[in-house]
RNA sequence: GAUCCCGUAGCUCAGCUGGUAGAGCAUUUGACUUUUAAUCAAAGGGUCUUGGGUUCGAGUCCCAACGGGAUCACCA
């Protein structure tokens, strides 16, 4: 096998190396022969373009070039070069070191233009044989995808592009595979047009590193994501609230209605669950005496996946003592206002065609007022049968077996939610929908809870936390009964949590924010997969795999 | 889980009512010392996702599997 593969390289080398000048110093002719078996067996499946790159790698080493050096004294990012250059006085950039991945090579005989891409963008290099000598000939061993560094001076070409004129050229990392680098054209308006874009969504999600190289503009989404989160941290920290970490592996799960992932601890020989929410642990910390705690962390829910659901997702939860949900609404307004300003520099963001204003105050509407407004019916205190009849009358498909809570939820989703485009707090929910929220101080059957909707999507959920231990036990036992009746998403009774509530939770306002959805909203992405570097994907498998299925 | 659409060169795609597989870019060779999707000339590159079936003959038609996308359902 090795022989067969070597012979293909030999024939390739001969083909690629015209015999006309065997003594001319052509690196391929002179250096190739003695080393025909440097490729490992595991590399046998390589295609011709990859084989050529392995060959080039080998030849670079033969020439005494280390294709994987340890450091390079990079002095400027590409963007810094472009912004710092002045035609009037180029002298400050007379000796710079730049580095990046080769995205385009245009050879003009004894001069070449190369575009390199670094974290900040693209920069053109001008390489001339007169300046580089024999190193210029090595350029034939360089490819799109290699990472190179250059020392040189900055100038503007005749075509007007600020470029680095190379005095020396260094291979920093030889790439041995092909990257999908489509060509780019920049029109007069500065718009980048891409040709042969790397557009296969599946491959983009599976091989995000290639996506980031081929579609560098997506970096903006992830930079904004990082800024959104860091702005939130700063906002909370300056107010004296403590960032904490609570268990991901939990013997009991709770704080939300959702199916968990299950795992097993060998030494303890017990089942453990991956958390579905932080709530119950954070409240224990308020019981313990902290007066403001927050956590930004991954939650895990073993449910379906779609545009807005990934099995692991990032949530913010914050609890502040001696506050209620009205105070929390003000805080959320201020928080989002701050975040949007930090990220966009203005009060608003554009999602699709819609401009969304985060100017304060946001609309605040009672849930049952919204029902009246959008259905024409007053649903307060209605029994299940009445709700079924109303649903029928307003053409909402419902299952008559659903609970009153589920019916309200469905009517809300269909009739109300799509209208909540600008930031809107929906307040005062029925108690059945909120087993951890405090009973409303004035309205019978309601709890002090709000959800914030933007673009018809829930962005935040908060309430005055239930701290009446008898009420809390009663509601969790109701959940347990629902669970026993077959709803495996209902909450389980957590005795230690109930004990903490019996010890005494001060009046507390709590808030949860789905970070991924907030990032989607603020970066104009309609799929959660576009705001996660590595969204969960079905394992890649093809029918020709011969691996037998592993039985558990 | 249901329905619809998709899977062809490294990338983006074309391929008609079945008849020996196409383009652009990328790659290789040659020319070119300020180019801009550089250009010009030549060349290599494919088990058409996989497995069955119909047919003299399948990239194309049928069935199934695998993978993906969209919509819905489930679900915050």
Give mean pLDDT, residues A256-285: 91
pLDDT band at A229; cut points 50, 70, 90: very high
Tell me the DSSP string of A123-161.
Answer: EEEEEEHHHHTHHHHHGGG--TT-EEEEEEEEEE-TTS-
pLDDT band at A497; cut points 50, 70, 90: very high
From residue A401, how far is each of A41, A387, A393, A414, A434 by CA, in Å? Answer: 63, 11, 17, 18, 20
Give mean pLDDT, residues A249-272: 89
**How high is the pLDDT of residue A539?**
65
A469 CB and strand B closer than 7 A? no
- Judged against a pLDDT cut of 70, whether residue A18 lies above it is answered with no
Q: How far is the CA of A178 from the C1' of B6 (A)?
A: 25
Which 103-142 residues of chain A approach strand B with CB closer than 7 Å? 104-111, 113, 124, 126, 128-130, 140
- Judged against a pLDDT cut of 80, whether residue A40 lies above it is answered with no
**How high is the pLDDT of residue A389?**
86
Give mean pLDDT, residues A178-189: 77
**How high is the pLDDT of residue A506?**
97
The set of strand B positions with any atom below 7 Å of a protein CB reads: 1, 10-13, 24-39, 44-45, 49-51, 65-76
Q: Which of A164, A161, A172 is nearest to A66 (CA)?
A: A172
**How high is the pLDDT of residue A21?**
26
A352 CB and strand B closer than 7 A? no
Structure tokens at A452: 């914030």
Number of H helices, E strands in chain A: 17, 20
Encode pLDDT of A152-167 as tens digits: 999 999 999 999 999 9
- Judged against a pLDDT cut of 60, whether residue A19 lies above it is answered with no
Q: How far is the CA of A193 from the C1' of B13 (A)?
A: 17
- Judged against a pLDDT cut of 60, whether residue A485 lies above it is answered with yes
Encode pLDDT of A94-143 as tens digits: 999 999 999 999 999 999 999 999 999 999 999 999 999 889 999 989 99
Q: CA-CA distance, A135 to A493, in Å (whole number)?
A: 72
From residue A23, how far is each of A30, A35, A109, A232, A508 by CA, in Å? Answer: 7, 18, 20, 66, 84
Q: How far is the CA of A179 from the C1' of B16 (A)?
A: 34
Q: How far is the CA of A128 from the C1' of B40 (A)?
A: 21
Give mean pLDDT, residues A160-186: 88
A62 CB and strand B closer than 7 A? no
Residue A379 neighbours by CB under 8 Å, 6+ apart: A368, A371, A372, A387, A390, A408, A411
Q: How far is the CA of A194 from the C1' of B13 (A)?
A: 15
From residue A159, how far is each of A156, A163, A506 by CA, in Å? Answer: 8, 11, 69
User: Which nt sits closest to A158, CA to C1'?
Assistant: B34
Encode pLDDT of A58-78 as tens digits: 889 989 999 999 999 999 999
Encode pLDDT of A374-388 as tens digits: 888 898 888 888 888
Give mean pLDDT, residues A348-374: 91
Is pLDDT larger for residue A363 or for residue A352?
A: A363
**How high is the pLDDT of residue A540?**
61
Q: CA-CA distance, A61 to A75, in Å (whole number)?
A: 27
Give mean pLDDT, residues A324-331: 96
Q: How far is the CA of A101 from the C1' of B13 (A)?
A: 27
A152 CB and strand B closer than 7 A? no
Give mean pLDDT, residues A142-157: 94
Q: CA-CA distance, A508 to A465, in Å (whole number)?
A: 5
**How high is the pLDDT of residue A272?**
92
A489 CB and strand B closer than 7 A? yes
Give mean pLDDT, residues A171-183: 85
A263 CB and strand B closer than 7 A? no
**How high is the pLDDT of residue A410?**
84
- Judged against a pLDDT cut of 50, whether residue A23 lies above it is answered with no
Give mean pLDDT, residues A141-151: 93
A183 CB and strand B closer than 7 A? yes
Length of chain A: 552
**How high is the pLDDT of residue A320?**
97
Give mean pLDDT, residues A340-356: 91
A488 CB and strand B closer than 7 A? no
Provide the percentage of residues in chain A whose pLDDT is more than 70.
Answer: 89
A402 CB and strand B closer than 7 A? no
């Amino acid at each position: 096998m090795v022989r067969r593969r070597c012979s293909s390289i030999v024939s390739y080398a001969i083909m690629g190396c015209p015999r006309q000048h065997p003594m001319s110093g052509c690196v391929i002719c002179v250096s190739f022969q003695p080393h025909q078996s440097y490729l490992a067996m595991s590399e046998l499946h390589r295609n011709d373009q990859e084989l050529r790159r392995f060959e080039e790698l080998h030849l670079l080493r033969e020439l005494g070039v280390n294709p994987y050096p340890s450091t390079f004294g990079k002095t400027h990012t590409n963007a810094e070069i472009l912004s710092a250059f002045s035609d009037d006085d180029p002298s400050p950039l007379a000796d710079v070191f730049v580095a990046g991945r080769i995205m385009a090579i245009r050879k003009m005989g004894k001069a070449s233009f190369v575009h390199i891409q670094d974290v900040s963008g693209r920069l053109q290099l001008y390489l001339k044989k007169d300046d580089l000598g024999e190193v210029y000939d090595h350029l034939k061993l360089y490819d799109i995808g290699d990472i190179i560094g250059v020392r040189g001076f900055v100038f503007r070409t005749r075509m007007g592009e600020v470029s680095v004129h190379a005095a020396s050229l260094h291979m920093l990392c030889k790439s041995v595979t092909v990257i999908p680098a489509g060509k780019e054209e920049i029109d007069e308006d500065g718009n980048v047009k891409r040709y042969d874009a790397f557009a296969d969504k599946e491959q983009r999600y599976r091989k995000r590193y290639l996506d980031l190289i081929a579609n560098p503009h997506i970096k903006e989404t992830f930079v904004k994501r990082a800024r959104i989160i860091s702005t939130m941290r700063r906002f909370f920290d300056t107010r004296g609230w403590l960032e904490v970490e609570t268990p991901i592996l939990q013997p009991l799960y709770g704080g939300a209605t959702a199916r968990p992932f299950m795992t097993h601890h060998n030494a303890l020989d017990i089942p453990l669950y991956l958390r579905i929410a932080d709530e119950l642990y954070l409240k224990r910390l308020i019981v313990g005496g902290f007066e403001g705690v927050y956590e930004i962390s991954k939650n895990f829910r073993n449910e379906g996946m779609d545009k807005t659901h990934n099995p692991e997702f990032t949530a913010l939860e914050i609890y502040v003592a001696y506050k209620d949900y009205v105070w929390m609404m003000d805080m959320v307004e201020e928080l989002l206002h701050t975040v949007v300003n930090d990220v966009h520099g203005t009060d608003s963001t554009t999602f699709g065609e819609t401009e969304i204003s985060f100017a304060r105050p946001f609309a605040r509407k009672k849930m049952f007022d919204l029902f009246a407004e959008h259905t024409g019916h007053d649903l307060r205190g209605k029994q299940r049968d009445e709700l079924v009849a109303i649903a029928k009358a307003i053409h909402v498909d419902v299952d008559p077996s659903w609970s009153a809570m589920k019916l309200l939820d469905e009517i809300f989703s269909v009739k109300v939610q799509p209208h909540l485009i600008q930031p809107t707090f929906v307040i005062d929910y029925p108690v059945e929908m909120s087993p951890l929220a405090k009973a409303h101080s004035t309205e019978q059957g309601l709890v002090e809870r709000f959800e914030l909707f933007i673009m018809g999507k829930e962005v935040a959920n908060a309430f005055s936390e239930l701290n009446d231990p008898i009420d809390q036990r009663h509601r969790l036992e109701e959940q347990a009964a629902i669970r026993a009746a077959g709803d495996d998403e209902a909450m389980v009774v957590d005795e230690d949590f109930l004990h903490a509530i019996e010890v005494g939770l001060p009046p507390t306002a709590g808030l949860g924010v789905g970070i991924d959805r907030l990032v989607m909203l603020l970066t104009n992405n309609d799929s959660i997969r576009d705001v996660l570097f590595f969204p969960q994907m079905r394992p890649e498998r093809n029918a020709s795999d011969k691996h037998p299925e592993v039985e558990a």
